[in-house]
Amino acid sequence: MTLHEPTIFVLLLIGYAMLGLLLVTAGRRLVSGESLRRWGWGNGLMLAGYLFLLVDVAAPWPGWIAASNALIVYGEFVFVTALQRFIDERLPSGPLRWGGVAAALSMLPLMLLPTPTRMPIQSLIAALPLLWAGWLVWRSRARAERALRPVGLMLVLVAVALLIRTVHALLQPAAYVDLSQPNPVQTLLALAAYAALLGSGFGFVLACTERATRSLERQASHDGLTGALNRQAGGPLLQRTLLRARRERQGVAYVLLDLDRFKQVNDEHGHAFGDEVLRRFARTVRTRMRASDLFVRLGGEEFALVLPDSDAAGALVVLEHLRRDCLEMGLCTESGCACRVSFSAGIALSPQGRVDGDALYRAADTALYRAKRAGRDQVALAGADETIHP
């Protein structure tokens, strides 16, 4: 079986041109624009590489082949840098970037070798960055987008195809003496490899789209400054927690937290420092949370904690640990002065989930203001007659 190679190259050029248009369009709208731009550069290098192959078919010259191989190999390395930028959310390492340059330049002196000798070396060099890309996806499989897995799989399939061609060229060097002669193994493997490279590009766009969707969902449900749930998302989740507590006959503790004298912090040290206080406080709270707990920013310096399967004693233990953690945050102003962070809290209970969310908020709010009137840095329990020092 033989395939018309110029037809394959034309189809690949059309495919890479379509992918390039998609990358340009998507890169302007998605949060992973830098990664998409890098993939777009790799796509452009691939497009140029296959264009040189098509030119070589029409007007054979070793320079076209050398340029094509260099562009394609460098394009693969650029794909790897795009993957690393997307997965690790940091700039690719220097060795990776310079490795791509070295691999591309190595294609030029290889043209001095006979084709049967050159082919396995080129195929092996081209397979290495793709194997690296597959490893990047594999090591991040637990946290990366699901759409990224087919991308890694397709890139590894390309690498496997290139390794098969490496072995075939070593075992059957006569088949690579004259590349103008039909070689079914090389043609089929090249077609499969190139199609997989093209498919991985569309898969990468899907992964970026998946991340953008997840980011939008998070922005809609979380506070941008502290990372806590916002009020709109916290209400329905509280109701769901109460319904589950009612079914399982468990108690729920609802805690309102208000940072003491926060306005004074903003007035004396600026809003930028006040934002850092809120971020550090939220980070400290999350270290004390269970997976089932909810942490909501209600507005300004007021937060809510929802503690399923908990009572007043359990909530007090959490608040005691949190109070100590706040004292150890080590916040310092620009002048080097230590900034002590404390909070007042009000606790309301919903035995077996029978008290609804609105009633919990009102009870906890009343308790919170009682704690503040008592001197701040205290905890008050709804229905109790006095505040409780944590």
What would the pLDDT profile of 233-282 be if each residue is shown by its tens digit? 999 999 999 999 999 999 999 999 999 989 888 888 888 889 999 999 99
**What's the one-letter identity of residue 183?**
N
Whether 235 and 298 have beta carbons less than 8 Å apart is answered as no
Output the CA torsion 102→108→109→114 (10° steps): 130
C-alpha to C-alpha distance for 383 and 365, rounded to whole angstroms: 12
What pLDDT score was predicted for residue 7?
67
What pLDDT score was predicted for residue 26?
60
C-alpha to C-alpha distance for 360 and 39, rounded to whole angstroms: 51
Residue 77: both structure tokens together:
């390395």
Cβ count near 302 (within 10 Å): 17
Phi and psi at residue 95, to the nearest 5°: -55, -35
Between 1 and 133, the higher pLDDT residue: 133
What pLDDT score was predicted for residue 30?
55
**pLDDT reading at 10 higher than 90:** no
Mean of pLDDT over the chain: 85
What pLDDT score was predicted for residue 295?
96
Whether 327 and 226 have beta carbons less than 8 Å apart is answered as no
> Domain locations in the chain?
5-221, 231-388
Domain 5-221, CATH number (from 1.10.3080.10, 3.40.50.410, 1.20.120.1200, 1.20.1070.10): 1.20.1070.10
What pLDDT score was predicted for residue 340?
84
Whether 380 and 387 have beta carbons less than 8 Å apart is answered as yes
Domain 231-388, CATH number (from 3.40.50.2300, 1.10.486.10, 3.40.50.620, 3.30.70.270): 3.30.70.270
- Max Cα distance, the chain (Å): 95
92: DSSP letter: P
Query: Does residue 349 sit in helix, strand or coil?
Result: strand
Strands 387-388, 343-350: pairing kind? unpaired
**pLDDT reading at 126 higher than 60:** yes
Cβ within 8 Å of residue 21, ≥6 positions away: none
**pLDDT reading at 88 higher than 50:** yes
What pLDDT score was predicted for residue 36?
81
Strands 252-259, 294-299: pairing kind? unpaired
Share of the chain above pLDDT 90, in %: 41
What pLDDT score was predicted for residue 389?
45
Share of the chain above pLDDT 70, in %: 89
**pLDDT reading at 124 higher than 90:** yes
For the chain, where are the alpha helices, taking DSSP H only? 5-27, 33-58, 62-88, 94-110, 115-139, 148-171, 184-221, 231-248, 262-269, 271-287, 312-327, 357-373
Cβ count near 63 (within 10 Å): 12
Summarised one tens digit per residue, pLDDT across range 195-206 is 777 788 888 888
Mean pLDDT over residues 23-45, rounded? 71
What pLDDT score was predicted for residue 42?
84
Between 2 and 270, the higher pLDDT residue: 270
Rounded alpha-carbon distances, angstroms, from residue 271 to 197, 229, 337, 354? 49, 21, 17, 40
For 59-183, where are the alpha helices, taking DSSP H only? 62-88, 94-110, 115-139, 148-171
Summarised one tens digit per residue, pLDDT across range 302-361 is 999 999 999 999 999 999 999 999 888 878 777 777 788 899 999 999 998 899 999 999
C-alpha to C-alpha distance for 340 and 168, rounded to whole angstroms: 70
